[in-house]
Structure 1
C-alpha cells in the first residue's frame, strides 16, 4: 500500500528510527548528507527536507560548517526564579559555561528608557555574553545594569554568575520582575554568536528587574535556541 505521507516525511521517520535504534547519544554527529541520502535511497533535496523537519521538531540541530547533531534533552527553565544560569543548569545534571564577549559603560538607548524608569542617555552597563550547556552554545544574553547600584561591576569576573555578583558584592536582589517570552527568528548578530543560520528559530526572553527600593536594577535580553529549553512555572495557592 502506498503511503499517504510525503516522501520527505517517510525519510524523516526512517532517519529518526535509525537514530534511536542505533542509540546515538546526545550531541552525536550524524553522517554526512551524501552518506545519509545513500543510506535511505533518496535525493539530497528530499533528505534536507527530512532533516529540516527533524530540526523544526527539536530532535536534531545544525551547526554551521560542522554538520547535524542529535539534540540534547531540553533544559527546564523557570525564568521567575533568581537562581542564576549556573545553578539551574548544574542542578539538572548539565555542565554550564559562560563567555563574556564584551562589557562596556555606555548610554541608555531610547528603547531601554521606554521599557524602564531610566532616561535616554543615562550611563548604563552593557554586558554581552554567550552561554553553554554541556559544551553546546544555546544562549546569547544582553544584560543592561544600573551602574549607580553596582559601581565597579565591569571589573568583576562576569564569566561567573551575574546574579551571584549582584547579590554577594552589592547586596542587590530583584524585588519586582516583569518577564516577557515569545518565539522569533534569530537576527544576524545573535545567529552568528550561536553559530547557526540567520533566521533560525529562537526563543526570546526579556526580564526587567527593580530592587527593593523600586528603582531600576537590571534589564536582560536573552536569545535561546528554540530546542534548548522548556519553560516551567510553579504556581501555589
Structure 2
C-alpha cells in the first residue's frame, strides 16, 4: 500500500476510508473493524486510530455493539419548526424520496391525554394514523397523528404509502396554517426502540406538534419520534425587540 511519506499509517488509512466510503448515504453502517483490517491489510489498533480521527472530524459516529455510521453526506434537514409545508413536502424539496409503512389507520376513542390535546371529550372518536417514515429507503421516524373525527370521513381509505397527510387535507379545503411545536430528547422505551430498530434507552428526538387552520380550527396533533443522531432541525429566529420598520 502506498502511503504519504512521513505520514503515520493510521492517518493514511483514515484518508483511504474517507475516500472509499464517501458515496455512502447519510448514516450508513460502515464495515466492522475486522472487515476493515482485511480490506486495508493493517492491524486493528491502526483501524481504531483511523476511526478515532474520522469521529473527531464528525464524519462517523460509533455506537456500542452496532459499529460505525457514516455522517459525511448531507442528511435530511427538518424545517418543520419554521415551515408548515409538512414532513413529506419538506423532504421532497430537498430532493429526498419519502415513503410510509402504515402501522395503523383507523377510528379510535380518545383517551384522557389525547382528548386534552385535541380539545375533545374523553372517549370521543378520533382518527389515528400511525406510520414509519422512510427517506430514500432508510427508516427515519415513527409518526403518530391524531385528528378530530370531523376530518376523518375521507381519510380512512386513503393510501398514505407515498402521500402527504397535509396534501390530502388541503385538497379537501382544510389548509394547515400554523402549528404549536415542542421538541424534546428522551431515552427510547422498549416499544419506540422496537419500531425504530434501535437499542432501548437510545436517545430519541420527539417533535410534538398541534396544527391549526387560519380560523384557528384544530386539525391535528402529531408526535414524531426519530433517533436523535439522525435528526437535524433548522430554524430562523428574529429579535422581537427590534421594530420591523427599522
1:153 aligns with 2:151: no
Deviation at 1:227, TM superposition (A): 2.7
1:182-193 mapped onto 2 (5 Å cutoff): 182-193=184-195
Paired residues of 2:118 and 2:220 also in contact (CA < 8 A): no
Structure number, greater radius of gyration: 2
> Cα 1:184–1:34, aligned 2, differ >3 Å: closer, same or farther?
same
For 1:163, what is the secondary structure of its paired residue? helix
- Distance in 1 (CA, whole Å) between partners of 2:190 and 2:14 is 30
| Structure 1 unpaired stretches of 5+ | 1-11
Alignment correspondent of 1:163: 166
Mind listing any 5+ residue stretches in structure 2 that lack a counterpart?
Answer: 1-9, 239-243
Distance 1:213 1:196, change over 3 A: same
Deviation of the 1:87 alpha carbon? 1.9
Deviates more, 1:84-93 or 1:142-151: 84-93
2:182 corresponds to which residue?
A: 180
Q: Secondary structure at the match of 1:158?
A: coil
How many Å separate the matches in 2 of 1:198 and 1:54? Answer: 23
**Partner residue, 1:9:** none
Give the whole-Å Cα distance in 2 for the aligned partners of 1:136 and 1:58: 19
Secondary structure of 2:84's match? coil
8 Å CA contact 2:179–2:212 kept in 1: the answer is yes
Pairing of 1:64-83 with structure 2 (within 5 A):
68-71=68-71, 72-79=73-80, 80-83=82-85
The farther-off stretch of 97-106 and 34-43 is 34-43
Greater RCO, CA 8 A, separation 6+: 1
Aligned equivalent of 2:4: none
Report the alpha carbon displacement of residue 68 of structure 1 after superposing the two structures with TM. Answer: 4.5
Does 1:134 find its partner at 2:136?
A: yes
Aligned residue in 2 for 1:198: 200
Question: Counterparts in 2 of 1:33-112, with a 5 A limit?
Answer: 33-36=33-36, 39-42=42-45, 54=55, 59-60=60-61, 68-71=68-71, 72-79=73-80, 80-112=82-114
Q: For 1:227, what is the secondary structure of its paired residue?
A: helix
Q: CA deviation at 1:15?
A: 7.7
Q: Identify the residue that residue 32 of structure 2 maps to in structure 1.
A: 32
Work out whether residues 183 and 205 of structure 2, in 8 Å CA contact, stay in contact via their aligned partners in 1: yes
Q: Secondary structure at the match of 2:150?
A: coil
